[in-house]
């Protein structure tokens, strides 16, 4: 399979959630806030918005609640020019996820509402309705595997993407609150990783998959040796190590004064994938993802903070450059 060739088509089908984000003005605690800004959230939707803002195309596959919040989310996807062809409303008691988080680092609080989440109602029929031939690659995040029927549907999407010749890009994105148990999460995420061509995660996530943080780097290396073409092992302020074609590529970060800790991973993925699509080397694409992550953590919101090319160019021109690789 031509993994890089698929990514270079710059047309992505993204399986996973969209939700509503609420955040108070910078520096204000949630309990002290008199007003909130509402925008789109959800890791897969954020990545889709980031890709489109940087010049790619993205279609989201998910379910939304058949109510005002679900329609808000779809309207926001339209605003960010994400294709909503494969989004299905679901009635009953299912509700779109809701995230309340603060634009501050010290004392930061995030409250996530995921009980009865509408995106977990995604079915095999939903993913079988997708025309995979229209895309270059499939992207998803670990949260889509946390419950049924979404879990089975996501694995079916992997099978269909593989049959259509699409590389599978997997962001581990482990969120403990979504899973029935750590044991289930470890098993399912490891299975998803074994089926993927590109895997992105942080040291905690790979450590979780390996049964201990001290084993995370070895787990990432093993995944690259066992079939994944590219594995990106992120280490926060210490940068990242990428395993590809038997080589290890170490990269630093772009230090900024962070306003919040959220949204970095989604923005990294968008910058990384569109960097490859734009013809950058693997190392350059990883650094582009790091720059996009730095931009997002320094601004309020997630999807609205994702950079356009002009924002990225302005940031890179003003910044001293990445740190030395750890």
The tens-digit pLDDT sequence of the chain (326 residues) is 799 999 999 999 999 999 999 999 999 999 999 999 999 999 999 999 999 999 999 999 999 999 999 999 999 999 999 999 999 999 999 999 999 999 999 999 999 999 999 999 999 999 999 999 999 999 999 999 999 999 999 999 999 999 999 999 999 999 998 999 999 999 999 999 999 999 999 999 999 988 888 999 999 999 999 999 999 999 999 999 999 999 999 999 999 999 999 999 999 999 999 999 999 999 999 999 999 999 999 999 999 999 999 999 999 999 998 998 87
For the record, the structure tokens of 55 come out as 């010049």
CA distance between the termini of the chain: 32
* Residue 24 per-residue DSSP state: P
How deeply is 190 buried, as exposed, middle or buried, from its count of CB atoms within 10 A (0-12, 13-18, 19+)?
middle
Extract the tokens encoding 5. Answer: 């060739």
For domain 3-18+44-86+120-318, say whether CATH 3.30.300.280 is its number: no
Cross-strand pairs, 59: 13, 83
Residue 176's CB is within 10 A of a number of other CB atoms, namely 10
- Residue written as tokens 């803002």? 53
Cα-based distances in Å from 86 to 25, 125, 145, 170: 34, 11, 18, 19
State the Cα–Cα distance between residues 232 and 239, nearest whole angstrom. Answer: 10
Buried b (16+ CB within 10 A) or exposed e, 51-81: bbbbebbbbbbbbbbbeebbebbbebbeebe
Q: What is the pTM of this model?
A: 0.97
As a 3-state breakdown, the chain gives helix, strand, coil percent values, each rounded to 5, of: 45, 20, 35
- Residue keyed to tokens 């926060």: 236
């Amino acid at each position: 399979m031509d993994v890089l060739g698929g990514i270079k088509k710059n047309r992505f089908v993204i399986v996973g959630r969209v939700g509503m984000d609420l955040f108070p003005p910078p520096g204000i605690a949630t309990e002290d806030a008199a007003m909130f800004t509402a925008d789109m959230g959800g890791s897969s939707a954020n990545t889709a918005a980031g890709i489109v803002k940087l010049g790619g195309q993205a279609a989201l596959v998910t379910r939304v609640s058949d109510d005002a919040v679900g329609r808000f989310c779809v309207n926001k996807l339209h605003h960010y020019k994400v294709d909503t062809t494969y989004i299905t409303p679901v009635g009953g008691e299912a509700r779109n996820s809701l995230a309340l988080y603060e634009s501050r680092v010290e004392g930061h609080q995030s409250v996530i509402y995921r009980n009865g989440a509408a995106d977990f109602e995604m079915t095999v029929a939903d993913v079988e309705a997708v025309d995979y031939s229209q895309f270059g690659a499939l992207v998803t995040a670990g949260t889509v595997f946390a419950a049924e029927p979404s879990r089975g549907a996501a694995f079916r999407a992997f099978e269909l993407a593989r049959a259509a010749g699409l590389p599978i890009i997997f962001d581990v994105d482990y969120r403990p609150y979504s899973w029935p148990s750590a044991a289930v999460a470890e098993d399912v995420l490891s299975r998803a990783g074994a089926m993927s061509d590109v895997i992105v995660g942080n040291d905690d996530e790979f450590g979780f998959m390996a049964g201990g943080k001290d084993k995370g780097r070895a787990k990432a290396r093993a995944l690259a040796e066992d079939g994944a073409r590219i594995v990106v092992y992120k280490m926060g302020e210490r940068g990242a190590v990428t395993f590809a074609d038997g080589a290890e590529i170490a990269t630093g970060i772009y230090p900024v004064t962070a306003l919040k800790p959220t949204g970095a991973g989604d923005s990294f993925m968008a910058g990384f994938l569109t960097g490859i699509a734009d013809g950058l080397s693997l190392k350059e694409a990883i650094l582009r993802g790091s720059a996009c992550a730095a931009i997002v953590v320094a601004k309020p919101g997630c999807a609205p903070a994702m950079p356009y090319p002009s924002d990225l160019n302005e940031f890179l021109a003003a910044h001293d450059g990445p740190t030395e690789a750890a």
